[in-house]
Structure 1
Amino acid sequence: MLWRRCRHPVLSSHPVTPMNGADLRNHLRKQLEADIGLMDINELSQDGENVKEQYFKKIQSHDILLLDALNHENMRVIGRLLWEKPNKSTQFVVGSSGVEYALASCWRDIGIPTLNFSNFYRSGTIRENVLVVSGSCSMITHQQIANALSNGFHGIRIPIHLFTNNQQYLKSFIEEVVELLIGGKSVILYTALGSRDGSIGVTREHLNALGIQPREYGHFIGKQLGILTNEIMNKCRIGRLVLAGGDTSGFITKELGIYGLEMIHQVSPGAPLCRTYSDNRHTDQIELALKGGQLGGKNYFEDLLKLNMIRKC
């Protein structure tokens, strides 16, 4: 099914940056002051030299250039444009896994070998359990959580009191989670079940009462979830961790001291299983999956629990 961005059930109800229009340029202008250009699918469909010339002109005349895509051919063209840049200056490219798909398509076209991950990993021991931490309000994540809970996962709603400086409450909550994990349970910690969850409004009121501004909600909650996850991992090393929610994933990985990821298995498009590189011993060389709110199938969490991958070499 195709959606306008402003009508997508997840994007239109995002708690921090809801889409209320189909033009991504207008959406981004609300978040930053920059001259934003666009290269649309008609321009990308021109012949090779014309599309290059158009691209080079636009990247020189705009602070940011959006590249639109509708099909695989558009992605191949984008990959070639990114790879064959006109000068040796550094490019800063922001995007979803589409960036990787575009570049990989280009590399195959020009004969650069790409990795086949099946050459590096084979079946190993299935993980006994996983820890899932979700700050996502997406209905898709809600469905994934509900499905996992009906298939043996233990769910705990993260209480609003955890978003305070009550260290004793935090300590007892962590002890409860660690006890479940040590006992072999797969645990899902979640802040909300979908965008219509009444706890979202209650949480906003609570944060308001603490003097936290609406624009700081995401950062504050993400940091608290990161502190919570770090404490749990420090007390009970879990081999496989799953973070649900795009903003949540960024904040938590920062708190965990993770500075690098190595993809080890394609669980679902845009949400692979990775190996971590971290400054902290308890979060270094663990398996980590980062999942945006709208990504993954309904069995995503169970698939990660059952997945068994270890290095061949």
Structure 2
Amino acid sequence: MRPRPSIVYYGDDFTGATDTLGTAARAGLRALLFLQVPDAARLDRAGPLDVLGIAGAARAMTPDEMRTELRPVAALFRSLNARVLHYKTCSTFDSAPHIGSIGAAVRALRAAVEQPWTAIIGGQPNLGRYCLFANLFAAAGSGAQVHRIDRHPTMSCHPVTPMDEPDLRLHLAKQGLADVRSMPFTAASRGSDALDAALRQALHSPPADAVLFDVADAMQLRAIGQVLWTRAQAATLLAAGPSSVVDALSMAMGPSHRDSGSPPMARDGVPPAQGPVLVLAGSLSPVTARQVAAAKSFDIVWLDAQKLAQRGEAAVAEQAELVIGSLARGRHVLACTRAPGATPLGGGLDAQALARAGGDMLAKVLASVPLRRIGVAGGDTSSHGVQALDAWGLSYVADMGAGTSLCRVHSDDAALDGLEIMLKGGQMGAEDVFERLVHGFA
């Protein structure tokens, strides 16, 4: 009988899904990220897992689309008899009632678990995300100034899901979670016994939709994980939030879940790339723009976003040829959809169409030029880019720093199997992350 995973998680975009994959692997857990809900044969091929991930794109979907997307995830969780179902959100919680609704995801998945309430973890300190008395704060890049989320220079004016409400209880109420109760960081700071007592009081009648756990520092995750893991042993639990959910649970799962019988899942450092490296950067956040400016080892190709977004075969092929030419000469290429100073996605440009076209172009480039290492920047661009490849899974290779992971592609296509890929959200990564992808580091 196949050993059951303890945690099944669904990532609402691919960059976040790889961050959770890395979190699990660095904790010594056997983890694999599938690019679609796996069938029994694929699960058997994967072998024993502690953490099973599914990468998706619910962050860019309507509630109806999300319900369709998440139905097989709920069914898989029930069939595996895992203990925790984790809906992995962005650490900035950017979402809206009409697109990427966390409330819609919770409602779609709640029937799959036994506990009638949902645990929401509101911070991820290693990425500069903190929740205090239910209010979310986030750094504007690695090591940068921390802002209340409604004053964040990027997330407050996100083109699709602007974060204009810092109180996550009110933010989620707009998405249909009417009764989200706050578990202040002062409870977790007193340890797991005090936190469990406070949780029992918070769950006292009438029943809550959810309990939001503050996180003011990384040490509080240990108490949160202990309380949630203990409860999950008695009855299965739905948890929502960033990778800190798996971080917290991994501390409580004990040595029996550590990967001791197989080769290490993570390695120290990254060797230099063998051959040319391609990075595809979607619509640029200020963080990614600084990373592009610091990428001195690349030929930079400014793609025509308007042409790409039309998704015509000729337009995609034309833009791909610009990239293929430099790669064929052995040059590293950074392909960007927006030049510095340009208005983000202006002129009525369809962001989703552009992201899908980026995936089409990436597949065309890889079919023409064999590469062994690539990077993709941007949540939607990463999701559609990986979906365009003939691959079925990702495993963790190494930490690239500040919420970015280098992963190995698993594919039945020998030309793609073993490809190393880094997926990077707009707010993630150190300033030299693209240079590190080329030159490696110890």
Instruction: Pick the TM interval, shorter chain.
Output: 0.7 to 0.9
SS of alignment partner, residue 385 of structure 2: helix
Aligned-residue offset at 1:168: 1.7
Match of 1:12, as an amino acid?
S
Percent sequence identity over aligned pairs: 28
Match of 1:41, as an amino acid?
F
Gapped regions of structure 1 (runs ≥ 5): 208-216
1:34 aligned to which of 174, 177, 193: 177
SS of alignment partner, residue 267 of structure 1: strand
Match of 1:138 in 2: 285
1:175 aligned to which of 309, 321, 327: 321
Task: Give deviations 1:52-71, integer Å, cap 9, x for gaps.
Answer: 24436757934444322011
* 1:66 is the counterpart of 2:209: no
**90-99 or 76-85: bigger deviation:** 90-99
CA contact (8 A) 1:135 1:248 kept: yes
TM-score by length of structure 2 reads 0.58
Match of 1:154 in 2: 299
Change in CA separation of 1:122 and 1:75 when aligned onto 2, cut-off 3 Å: closer
* 1:129 is the counterpart of 2:276: yes
CA contact (8 A) 2:269 2:440 kept: no
Q: Counting helix residues as a fraction of each chain, which structure ranks higher?
A: 1
Match of 1:210 in 2: none
* 1:220 is the counterpart of 2:362: no
Q: Give me the whole-angstrom Cα distance separating, in 2, the residues matched to 1:185 and 1:132.
A: 12
1:291 aligned to which of 409, 412, 424: 424
CA contact (8 A) 1:14 1:137 kept: no
Match of 1:212 in 2: none
Match of 1:228, as an amino acid?
M
Match of 1:240 in 2: 373
Aligned-residue offset at 1:271: 0.5
Q: Give me the whole-angstrom Cα distance separating, in 2, the residues matched to 1:141 and 1:296.
A: 8
SS of alignment partner, residue 147 of structure 2: coil
Q: Give me the whole-angstrom Cα distance separating, in 1, the residues matched to 2:232 and 2:308.
A: 51
SS of alignment partner, residue 172 of structure 1: helix
CA contact (8 A) 1:10 1:138 kept: yes
* 1:307 is the counterpart of 2:434: no
Match of 1:24, as an amino acid?
L
SS of alignment partner, residue 198 of structure 1: coil
Paired residues for 1:197-212 under 5 Å:
197-198=342-343, 200-202=345-347, 204=348, 207=349
TM-score by length of structure 1 reads 0.79
CA contact (8 A) 2:319 2:361 kept: no
Task: Give deviations 1:205-254, integer Å, cap 9, x for gaps.
Answer: xx4xxxxxxxxx44322222212212212222221121111232223222
Change in CA separation of 1:246 and 1:95 when aligned onto 2, cut-off 3 Å: farther
2:224 aligned to which of 78, 89, 93: 78
* 1:11 is the counterpart of 2:149: no
CA contact (8 A) 2:149 2:163 kept: yes
Aligned-residue offset at 1:5: 1.0
Aligned length: 292
Aligned-residue offset at 1:142: 0.2
- Alpha-carbon RMSD: 3.1
Gapped regions of structure 2 (runs ≥ 5): 1-144
Match of 1:134, as an amino acid?
A
Q: Give me the whole-angstrom Cα distance separating, in 1, the residues matched to 2:218 and 2:310.
A: 47
CA contact (8 A) 2:320 2:364 kept: yes
Match of 2:290, as an amino acid?
Q
Match of 1:4, as an amino acid?
R
SS of alignment partner, residue 284 of structure 2: coil
Change in CA separation of 1:167 and 1:296 when aligned onto 2, cut-off 3 Å: same
SS of alignment partner, residue 284 of structure 1: coil
Match of 2:299, as an amino acid?
H
SS of alignment partner, residue 422 of structure 2: strand
Change in CA separation of 1:170 and 1:250 when aligned onto 2, cut-off 3 Å: closer
Q: Counting strand residues as a fraction of each chain, which structure ranks higher?
A: 2
Change in CA separation of 1:170 and 1:123 when aligned onto 2, cut-off 3 Å: closer
Match of 1:191 in 2: 337
Q: Give me the whole-angstrom Cα distance separating, in 2, the residues matched to 1:277 and 1:125.
A: 21
Q: Give me the whole-angstrom Cα distance separating, in 1, the residues matched to 2:219 and 2:377.
A: 31
Aligned-residue offset at 1:27: 3.4
1:95 aligned to which of 217, 220, 241: 241
**77-86 or 263-272: bigger deviation:** 77-86
Q: Give me the whole-angstrom Cα distance separating, in 1, the residues matched to 2:381 and 2:406.
A: 17
**59-68 or 230-239: bigger deviation:** 59-68
Aligned-residue offset at 1:307: 1.6
Task: Give deviations 1:158-210, integer Å, cap 9, x for gaps.
Answer: 2111111432222122122112112111111222357x6225212x2xx4xxx
2:166 aligned to which of 22, 37, 51: 22
* 1:273 is the counterpart of 2:415: no
CA contact (8 A) 1:127 1:308 kept: no
Aligned-residue offset at 1:112: 5.6
